[in-house]
Structure 1
Amino acid sequence: MKKVVLKLDFHDEKCRQKAMKTASGISGIESVAMDKDHKLTVTGDIDPVAAVRKLRKLCHTEIVSVGPAKEPEKKKEEPMKEEKKDEKKDIHHPPYPYTFVYYPPVPDYYTHGKYVEEDPAGCVIC
Structure 2
Amino acid sequence: MPRPEPRERRRAELTAAAQLAMAQAHAGREHEALRTCREVRELSGRPGELRERPGAPLTRRKQEVATLIADGLSSKEVAERLTISPRTVDGLVERILRKLDFSSRTQVASWVAASAVS
TM bucket normalised to smaller: under 0.3
Bigger helix fraction: 2
Q: TM-score, normalised by structure 2?
A: 0.24
Q: Which has the higher contact order (CA 8 A, sep 6+)?
A: 2
Instruction: Decide which structure has the larger Cα Rg and report it.
Output: 1
Pick the structure with more strand per residue.
1
